[in-house]
Amino acid sequence: MRYILPVILLFLTACSSTRLVESHSPYRAEKPKIEKILIIGMTPLTEFRESFETSLEKEFKKNNVEAMASVRVMEDMLVPGESTEKQLNNLEKYLLKEGYNTVLLSKIVQVESHKDLRSSLFNLKGSYRSFKSDYYSNQGIFHEDINGSKTYHTQTSIYTLPKDRQRELLWQGEIDLKNPKKIKKTINQYVDLLVASLKWDGVLQ
C-alpha cells in the first residue's frame, strides 16, 4: 500500500485542477492515533464548507475513524467571525467531554497569481499552537469576498486536543484549487487528495 500511494497522489494531481503543494508532520516517530475528529472548513462559501465537511466525514468513517462535521455540532456554540476566546475554550472542553482527541481545520483563502500564492504560503506557514489560536486568528475568513477568484489556496491542519500533549500540531498540508467551476467535482478531488496525503504521511491508517 505504501508503494501504491505515491502513484495515487500523482494521478490525483495530474488529472485535476487540485494540486498538493506540500505536507508535513512534526512527528518523526509514532504519530498519535486519530480516534475521534471534528472537521471544520473555514470559508465564506457556505455550500463548499458543508459539502467538504460532510464528504470528509464519510471518508474518515470509511477508514474506521469516528468523525463529525462542524456544521452538525457548532452552530449553537460559535458564531463565525465573532467567536471569543472564552467560547473557544468552552468548545474545547465540550469536545474533550464528548471524546474527541483531534480537530481538523481547513482554511480557504483567495489568491490571484503565482506571486500571491507564494506570499500566501509564507504567511500561512507559521504553525499555531493549537486549533483554538488558529481558528481565533483566522475566523475573518468566513466573511471574506472571494467571488471571481481564479485560484484558491487551502491549508489544512490537524491538531490534537489533550492538553498534556507536547505538540498539538499533528499534520499540516497545502492544496491549491485552480479555476474550480463545479463545486461537487472540486470537493471530491480535494477530499480524495487530502485523504491520500494523510495516508502517505502515516497520519491516517
Q: Is residue 51 part of a domain?
A: yes
Q: Is residue 28 part of a domain?
A: yes
Whether residue 6 has pLDDT greater than 50 = no
Highest-confidence segment of 27-31, 82-86, 113-117, 118-122: 82-86
Which amino acid is located at 34 in the chain?
A: I
Q: Is residue 205 part of a domain?
A: no
Domain count of the chain? 1
Q: Is residue 131 part of a domain?
A: yes
The pLDDT tens digits for 9-24 are: 444 444 457 788 788 7
Chain centroid to CA 38? 10
Give me the numbers of helices (H) and strands (E) for the chain, helices first please: 7, 6
The pLDDT tens digits for 58-82 are: 999 999 999 999 988 887 777 767 7
CATH code of 140's domain: 3.30.160
The burial class, CB within 10 Å (0-12 / 13-18 / 19+), for 153 is: buried
